[in-house]
Chains A and B, each alone.
Chain A
Amino acid sequence: MLVVFIRTLILFLIVVIVMRAMGKRQIGQLQPFELAVAIMISELAAVPMQNTGIPLVNGIIPIITLLVAQITLSLISLKSIKARSIICGRPNILIENGKINEVNLRKELYTMNDLLEQLRIKGTSNISDVEYAILETNGQLSIIPKSQKRPLTPEDIKIETNYEGIPLDLVIDGDVNYNNLKKAKLDEKWLMNELNNCGINNTKDALFVSLDSSGKVYFQKKAQN
């Protein structure tokens, strides 16, 4: 039992490291070959985990081989457009200028029901509102609505807007993020001053403090247990 426990921990750590090394794309499984790699890795790790008669190396070597193969394919597809279209495929237009492209629908083995279902999932119930629908290489359907049917933007009604950046987290769970403080060209003295104004005397008492692009500080004190 203890042997299985230790082997499981070792393989788990290896799989986590390998998935991490493959990058964020692999976790999102954007492409068919990435999905295949994820399925194979999970299977390869499971077999030596359960069967103590199989050496760990028999599980580790194929996992590392898949890591190398995945990185190599990613690099090739990064460098060459032609290779990318072979490895990942090409996006396919299913609705073009508001008209369903039957040839592409058949090519992708996509039924009308699949198309309508995907449109509904994306929040479009009426097919006549769609200018373009593109089946991406990862199997997702991208929808570009007709200009009259897209949401209104400030630019449409000529309203000037102020710059909006992303809020900076300054304190999370009592820990000060000094990098973000530096990024905002502020210091701990300023932070303490702000916290004192909010009735917090110690950063450890703050659950969350953030600063938005307009200079507004959001804070929440930790609950007293």
Chain B
Amino acid sequence: MHYTKVIVGTILLVSAMLAFSIASSYYLSHSASKIDTHIRNVEANSRADNWTNANNELTNLEKEWEKSSRTWALLIDHVEIDNIDNSLTRMKEYIKAKNSVLSLGELANLKQYVNHIPQKESFNFNNIF
């Protein structure tokens, strides 16, 4: 009877951990793809020198990031979040200055920062070893 309790408790604990891991992994990739969509919109407008739209998209991107970053802070190293924050700050200034070269470079940088998080947290052979 006691062993049954221990075994059931252990199975529940493992199940809860697995569920949490899968859910957090799914959340990270889902929110990263949302942010990525906004980054691509900013990028398209920057390429077309459409700075008003680029600014509007940037506002949407910031809102999306603000929403996601609170949960991300519970799941990933805070250095990663600081990197994205810094990149966003730089990009805001480049778009304000209507500098397409610098803003496109920073956008590529930001895209890399955002998209490598789900890759880093995903369950695969490379990440295990």
Contact = CB atoms under 8 A, between A and B. Distances in A.
A85 interface: no
B79 A67 contact: no
A53 B77 contact: yes
Contacts of A67: 13
Contacts of B75: 55, 57
Contacts of B79: 53
Interface string B7-40: 1001001100100110010000000000000000
A52 B7 contact: no
A53 B17 contact: no
Contacts of B6: 71, 75
Contacts of A10: none
Interface in A5-58: 52-58
A4 interface: no
A68 B78 contact: no
- SS class of chain B's interface: helix, strand, loop or mixed? helix
- SS class of chain A's interface: helix, strand, loop or mixed? helix
Contacts of A52: 78
Contacts of B21: 61
A68 B77 contact: no
Size range of the chain B interface in the assembly: 10 to 19
A68 B76 contact: no
A55 B7 contact: no
A53 B7 contact: no
A64 interface: yes
B90 to A, nearest CB: 21
Given A64-B17, A65-B17, A55 B73 contact: yes
A140 interface: no
Given A57-B75, A64-B17, A75-B6, 16 more contacts: A52-B78, A53-B77, A53-B78, A53-B79, A54-B78, A55-B75, A55-B77, A56-B74, A58-B77, A61-B20, A61-B21, A65-B17, A67-B13, A71-B10, A72-B10, A75-B3
21 contacts: A53-B77, A53-B78, A53-B79, A54-B77, A55-B73, A55-B74, A55-B78, A57-B24, A57-B75, A58-B77, A61-B21, A65-B17, A67-B13, A68-B10, A68-B14, A68-B17, A71-B6, A75-B3, A75-B6, A75-B7, A75-B10
